[in-house]
């Protein structure tokens, strides 16, 4: 009986820790992207597109045992929240007494002012948010590194003063203030690290000075503090920290999932699992043909067994190869001739890309079975038009075969590229990825259509073809 009561207590504790974020009907949000934390680590890359329920609201339930940072994009308004266990957060359109708007959005809850203040300073002022630490570096002659680090420490404390003030008047909870200090320190610390790298690169500081500043930084922010797990910059911060540690330690590279990050094997398991998962996603997304990712994923899965990344990878068939052979069209004439000769009376969606373009490849992640079914429903042919140089044809052919993209592939020669530059880019620079939508009459509906990652993509397709 006693064991049963203990079990009930534990279950109730877990349920009680669930935090709730409600996005109300009043916002009438066109789209909401929610970046759910994975394996108790912040997730800033992989969104879930959420839709309102029958009441017009969106409810997000987050089971967490400690405060963690959560990323939301509501109708293109970026919001970061530090969510505590049991939090009740409401995001709406109606202003409250203490609130100020964030792109027309208001936040309500225990730490509403803290959320608003943080987003105002660090999301809505991207240029000048680091002016303080930059100023310290600009004024320093680097002869006395201890003097520089003292000034940086004072600057960090100054940047945290608003958190201290809000906690003092009980406008934020003590736990929120505690974790916000760690979050802010990591954000500012990252910029200090960048400034240190920059000044070393410009030979303004010596290697010894460079190391002294970095050692002070790691000593001040303490990356092994478990509260760092909640920070948005945790993945890049730990990458840098363990890369530095690896230079002084022996690393068993046979345990590495991806060779470039062999220093991850030095991390504790609860950190390594999400860090490897995140890195696998990044590499597969931005360099999809670099490795045999199915093999790497098998190693990851056998090492860690289960977890949020594994559930995501399995549920989305993220590492399953598409074995279909690409359909290659050889054509090097005018763009409109391409449409007329090869796609007469057909609706066409054209993806202009190149093998060297990482953002182009990142979008390929969204060319999944449900997307192809959607395009088939609207009788739209897929055309992948590469602006790689003709002498790189062999590389291009190998790349498209590995990518397994369904549809037609064209390698644009000089004549076709000149025509594309004139018609699609208005004689400007050919910035890619670029998407073109053409109707069955050969009329260009858009020369700069939305990316597949945009939640409004399908609605814009429907708008174009549903009369």
Exposed, middle or buried by CB within 10 Å (0-12, 13-18, 19+), for 159? buried
CB 166 within 8 A of CB 214: no
Output the pLDDT for position 461: 92
Which domains are assigned to the chain?
16-122 (2.60.40), 130-246 (no CATH), 249-321 (no CATH), 327-465 (3.40.30.10)
Q: 308 is written with which tokens?
A: 């949020």
Q: Is the pLDDT of residue 72 over 80?
A: yes
pLDDT at 285: 83
User: Which pLDDT band holds residue 2 (cuts at 50, 70, 90)?
Assistant: very low
Closest by CA to 237, choosing from 254, 253, 223, 256, is 223
CB 170 within 8 A of CB 151: no
Tell me what the pLDDT averaged over the chain comes to.
Answer: 85
Number of Cβ within a 10 Å radius of residue 25: 15
Structure tokens at 280: 């696998």
8 pLDDT tier (thresholds 50, 70, 90): very low
Rounded Cα–Cα distance for residues 34 and 91 (Å): 13
> H or E segment at 329?
strand 327-329
d(CA 64, CA 62): 6
SS3 81: strand
What are the backbone angles phi and psi of residue 34, rounded to the nearest 5°?
-115, 125
User: How would residue 50 be classed by pLDDT, with cut points 50, 70 and 90?
Assistant: confident
- Distance set, CA 3 to CA 9, 11, 172, 294, 354 (Å): 10, 12, 37, 43, 62
Cis peptide before 433 (omega within 30 of 0): yes
3-class secondary-structure state, position 88: strand
Query: Hey, is 19 helix, strand or coil?
Result: strand
**Distance separating alpha carbons of residues 459 and 445, to the nearest angstrom:** 14
* Alpha-carbon dihedral 448, 451, 452, 458, rounded to 10 degrees: -60
Give the model confidence (pLDDT) of 430-455 as tens digits: 899 999 999 999 999 999 999 988 88
Distance CA 71, CA 73 (A): 7
Give the tens place of pLDDT for each residue, 256-301: 898 888 999 999 888 899 999 999 998 888 887 788 889 999 999 9
Question: Helix, strand, or coil here: 185?
Answer: helix
Q: In the predicted model, is pLDDT for residue 12 greater than 60? A: no
Q: Evaluate whether 204 touches 142 at the Cβ level (below 8 Å).
A: yes
Q: What is the pLDDT of residue 7?
A: 37
* pLDDT of 249 higher than 80: no
78 bridge partner residues = 73
* Spatial CA neighbour of 58 closest among 90, 86, 82: 90
H or E element that contains 243? helix 234-246
Poorest-pLDDT segment among 8-12, 52-56, 164-168, 224-228: 8-12
Question: 6-9 long-range CB contacts below 8 Å, 24 or more apart?
Answer: none
pLDDT at res. 15: 45
| Percent of residues, the chain, with pLDDT higher than 90 | 31
Distance between CA atoms of residues 143 and 124, nearest Å: 35
Tell me: pLDDT of 371 over 80. Answer: yes
Cα separation of the two ends of the chain: 66
Q: What integer pLDDT is reported at residue 275 of this predicted model?
A: 92
Token duo for residue 343: 């796609």
Please count the other Cβ atoms lying within 10 Å of the Cβ belonging to residue 278. 23
Burial class (CB within 10 angstroms; exposed 0-12, middle 13-18, buried 19+) of 305: exposed
Report pLDDT digits (tens) over 97-129.
455 666 677 888 889 999 988 888 877 665 677
Most confident of 21-30, 308-317, 365-374: 308-317
């Amino acid at each position: 009986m006693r064991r049963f009561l203990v079990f009930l207590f534990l279950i109730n504790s877990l349920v009680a820790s669930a935090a709730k974020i409600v996005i109300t009907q009043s916002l009438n949000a066109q789209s909401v992207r929610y970046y759910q934390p994975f394996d108790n680590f912040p997730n800033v890359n992989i969104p879930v597109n959420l839709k309102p329920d029958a009441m017009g609201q969106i409810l997000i339930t987050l089971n967490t045992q400690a405060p963690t940072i959560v990323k939301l994009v509501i109708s293109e308004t970026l919001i970061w929240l530090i969510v505590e266990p049991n939090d009740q957060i409401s995001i709406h359109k109606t202003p409250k007494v203490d609130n100020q708007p964030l792109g027309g959005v208001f936040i309500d809850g225990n730490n509403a002012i803290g959320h608003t203040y943080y987003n105002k300073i660090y999301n809505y002022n991207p240029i000048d948010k680091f002016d303080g630490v930059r100023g310290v570096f600009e004024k320093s002659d680097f002869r006395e590194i201890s003097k520089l680090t003292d000034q940086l420490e004072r600057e960090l404390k100054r940047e945290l003063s608003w958190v201290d003030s809000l906690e003092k008047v009980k406008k934020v909870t003590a736990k929120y203030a505690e974790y916000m200090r760690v979050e802010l320190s990591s954000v500012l610390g990252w910029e200090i690290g960048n400034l240190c790298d920059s000044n070393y690169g410009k030979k303004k500081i010596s290697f010894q000075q460079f190391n002294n500043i970095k050692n002070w930084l790691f000593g001040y922010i303490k990356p092994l503090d478990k509260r760092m797990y909640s920070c948005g910059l945790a993945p890049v911060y730990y990458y840098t920290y363990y890369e530095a540690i690896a230079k002084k330690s022996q690393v068993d590279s046979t345990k590495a999932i991806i060779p470039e990050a062999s220093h991850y094997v030095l991390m504790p398991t609860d950190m390594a699992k999400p860090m490897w998962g995140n890195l696998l996603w990044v590499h597969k997304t931005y360099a999809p043909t670099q490795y045999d990712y199915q093999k790497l994923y098998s190693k990851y899965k056998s090492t860690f067994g289960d977890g949020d990344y594994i559930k995501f990878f399995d549920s989305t068939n993220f590492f399953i190869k598409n074995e279909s052979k690409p359909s290659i069209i050889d054509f090097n004439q005018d763009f409109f001739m391409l449409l007329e000769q090869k796609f007469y009376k057909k609706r066409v969606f054209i993806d202009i890309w190149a093998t060297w373009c990482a953002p182009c490849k990142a979008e390929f992640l969204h060319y999944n079975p449900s997307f192809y079914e959607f395009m088939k429903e609207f009788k739209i042919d897929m055309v992948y038009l590469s602006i790689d140089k003709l002498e790189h044809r062999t590389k291009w052919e190998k790349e498209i075969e590995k990518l397994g993209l369904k549809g037609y592939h064209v390698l644009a020669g000089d004549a076709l590229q000149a025509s594309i530059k004139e018609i699609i880019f208005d004689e400007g620079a050919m910035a890619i990825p670029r998407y073109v939508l053409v109707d069955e009459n050969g009329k260009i509906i858009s020369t700069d259509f939305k990316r597949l990652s945009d939640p409004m993509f399908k609605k814009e397709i429907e708008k174009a073809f549903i009369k």
